[in-house]
Structure 1
Amino acid sequence: MSQKPDWLVAHGTPWKAGEPRRVYDNPWIAVTEQTAVAPTGKPALYGLVAFKNRALAILPLHDDATVTLVGQHRFPFADYSWEIPEGGGPLDEPPLAGARRELLEETGLEAEQWTEILRMQLSNSVTDELAIGYLATGLTQSQAEPRGDGTEDIARVRAPFREVLDATMAGHIQDALTVAMLLRGYHMAREGLLPDALARGMLE
């Protein structure tokens, strides 16, 4: 990871949080409401969504510069979404262990090499959800059948990286982690951070 630039520092006064009041709770999230004081000194009422799992994303990049995507209906937007394999991992579980499980469950793939390439705060104005993204290479198909969590009806497709990136830039793929991970993969290919043959295949 490159050194942090000198200008990348905090400025001003941080938020001051009052006592939280739990207003909703389920196995995946908790919503709290609390009084707060903004950095400007103005009183504020804040609602915070706390996630009980860490978001995990995997970019499964095959040796021929293709990517495996999964497709499923997503409830909040009532639409169909093509994405890289993603899921949630318990906060007390090593993130890589969760990523390995999600890749296997959603695609049936196993990877020899795992590289953490991204950390994201997914919506840091209202949630504390942290995402960790991995590049998975050296892929092989497991003997195990892919399986969802009981609510997932997942389709799978393997497509050229550049074709997937172009579809994303055209707005056909809108999942935030997928967009970010594809751009990170593209950056790595452009900057010589991947094997030459693989990078050429991704950029063509």
Structure 2
Amino acid sequence: MSVTVDDPLSEHTLSSEQVFDGALLHVRRDRVRLPDGGESVREYVRHPGAVVIAALLPEGQLVFERQFRYPLRRPFLELPAGKIDAGEDILACAMRELREETGYEASEWRHVGVMHPCIGYSDERIEIFFANGLRHVGHAWDEGEFLELLSLPVAAVEDAIHAERITDAKSITAFYRALPLIRAALGD
């Protein structure tokens, strides 16, 4: 569902300033006209977008990564994912990230949908993919990238989500969005 400028809930930008310009994130502060004619300030993070991949191994398990995430100072279980480079096609990005991070290439790809993980303070979008027909060709980690690879059956993923061992929103959303395709591929 998209919103047009004529939507009665739309806010209109009066002015905009860049507050921070980082390597990945860019923070803006906008003054806006509210639907009732008043004014307010909106601060938000600009993000280039990302992909996440639910990748199914021939043995029927999903590829997961265990990676330290600095903002929360601990490792997380996550599906493979990564940032979309400027001008990069989303499928090309998903293929690149799966190969670089896990060492797998897939013969079948399906775009499952999109999610917006932080709508209150970021314009980030994450494109969700399902990958099947995997074969291992060797990873190509970026310098300074450290992670462990795991493979988990569907039931173990669901158990880990409900037991809060998997709390990463993109991984949970991508898993459940791809679950019908995963079950179909498994013959369930």
Return the TM-score normalized by structure 2. Answer: 0.90
Give the corresponding residue for 1:152: 145
Shift of 1:62: 1.9
Give the corresponding residue for 2:65: 70
Give the corresponding residue for 1:3: none
1:55 aligns with 2:50: yes
- The residue correspondences of 1:109-148 to structure 2 (distance < 5 A) are 109-142=104-137, 144=138, 146-148=139-141
Give the corresponding residue for 1:23: 19
Give unpaired runs (5+ residues) of structure 1.
Answer: 1-7
**Number of matched pairs:** 185
Candidates 9, 20, 41, aligned match of 1:13: 9
CA contact (8 A) 2:78 2:171 kept: yes
* 1:125/1:99 CA distance change after superposition, 3 Å: same
Shift of 1:149: 2.0
How well do the aligned residues superpose, as a CA RMSD in angstroms?
1.8
Distance 1:177 1:160 in 2: 18
1:23-59 CA distances to partner (integer Å, 9 max, x unpaired)?
A: 11022121111211223433111112111x2211011
Residue aligned with 1:112, SS: strand
Further displaced range: 180-189 or 103-112 = 180-189
1:111-167 CA distances to partner (integer Å, 9 max, x unpaired)?
A: 00000012011211211111101000000001x3x2322222110111212211221
Q: Work out the percentage of aligned pairs sharing the same amino acid.
A: 26
Candidates 162, 166, 178, aligned match of 2:159: 166
CA contact (8 A) 1:54 1:91 kept: no
Distance 1:126 1:40 in 2: 22
Candidates 165, 169, 174, aligned match of 1:181: 174
Residue aligned with 2:72, SS: coil
1:157-187 CA distances to partner (integer Å, 9 max, x unpaired)?
A: 1121221122112211011110001111234
Shift of 1:76: 0.9
CA contact (8 A) 2:129 2:178 kept: no
* 1:110/1:9 CA distance change after superposition, 3 Å: closer
Shift of 1:64: 2.9
Shift of 1:199: 4.1
Q: Which letter maps to 1:116?
A: H
Give the corresponding residue for 1:32: 28
Return the TM-score normalized by structure 1. Answer: 0.84
Q: Which letter maps to 2:96?
A: R
Give the corresponding residue for 1:4: none
Residue aligned with 1:127, SS: coil
Give the corresponding residue for 1:86: 81
1:42 aligns with 2:38: yes
